[in-house]
Every structure is written in C-alpha cells, then in structure tokens.
Amino acid sequence: MMGNDEITAKYLGSLQDKYGSENDSTPNVGKDLTDQEKADFGGAGSGTPGGWELQDEKNARNNDSSLQQNEAKFEAEKARYPKLYDQYNNLPDKNLEKAISKHEKQIAEHQGYLNNPAKRLEHVPDWKKLERTASREFIASLAARRKEA
C-alpha cells in the first residue's frame, strides 16, 4: 500500500517527465488531469460536489471516533501481545508485506474450513493407520535390540 508521500512523488515525477523541468513558464499542469487525479492531488475537483454540507461534518466526526476506537483497539492488542508487536514492528517493509500476505492466506484457508468442514478432513492424518505403523516399527526395533543383546 502506498502512502501519501509516495503517491505525490509518483504523480509529480510523471508530471515533471511530461512537462520537463527546463520549461521556465508555469503551465497549467492540471489541465490534462482527470477529476480523480485532481482529487488525488487535493486540487480542484477534490471537494464535495455541491459544496460543504452538514452531513459532511457529521461524517467527519464519525470517522474521527472510529479512528480513535481503532487506535484504542490497536493499543490494547499491542499491550496484550508485546512480543508479537516487537517482532513485526522491527521488520523491513518488504518482510512486513510478506508476513501480512502469509497471515491473509492463513485466514482465507481457515475461513474455507469454516465454510466447508469436510475440506479440513483432507489434511487430517489417519491416526489408526499411523498407530499400527508405529506399533509395528516399535515391535521390530525391540526385536532387533533383543537379538543384539
């Protein structure tokens, strides 16, 4: 996931490549941008259609409260699992992305098992067969030791 700085650098880099830095004039670099690209930059076209409304403020307040709830939840989990937090907090970004991907795959796998419990049985060993095999091997090893003695 790209941060705001990375997005801004990407777009500014593409604009500089397009218009060149040797151009002394200040052209309207946004004239060829779509509304979505303008919204990404935070320029014209990025505001609420129709202007500010009372609902916008209410939505912003709700977003702030959910953000605070998420932060409180994060801090509680961080306190609950400090070793796990330290382990992942010190990872480089690339390794962290790999770890997140791994956990997402595990979550998807387990959700599949919840949706279809019979699928989980594919991975469960036949314990009776393993027990018989282990018993035979154990008896054979005992017999071999008796012969040696």
Transcribe 87-141 into DSSP letters.
HHHTS-HHHHHHHHHHHHHHHHHHHHHHH-HHHHGGGS--HHHHHHHHHHHHHHH
Amino acid 104: pLDDT = 92
Q: At what angle do helices 54-80 and 82-89 cross, to 10 degrees?
A: 110
Q: Which of the residue ranges 22-36, 55-69, 92-106 would you say has the lowest mean pLDDT?
A: 22-36
- Nearest-Å Rg of the Cα atoms of the chain is 30
Provide the pLDDT confidence category of residue 19 given band limits of 50, 70 and 90: low
Helices and strands in the chain: count of H runs, count of E runs: 7, 0
Query: Which of the listed ranges 9-23, 26-40, 45-59, 68-82 does the model predict with the highest average pLDDT?
Result: 68-82
Provide the pLDDT confidence category of residue 105 given band limits of 50, 70 and 90: very high
Q: What is the pTM of this model?
A: 0.28
Cβ-contact 45, 39 below 8 angstroms: yes
pLDDT: which is higher, 2 or 45: 2
d(C-alpha 2, C-alpha 8), whole Å: 10
CA angle 86, 90, 93 (to 5 degrees): 130
d(C-alpha 44, C-alpha 30), whole Å: 9
41: number of Cβ within 10 Å: 17
Burial pattern 59-79, b for ≥16 Cβ within 10 A else e, equals eeeeeeeeeeeeeeeeeeeee
53 backbone φψ class: left, alpha, beta (φ>0; ψ -120 to 50): beta
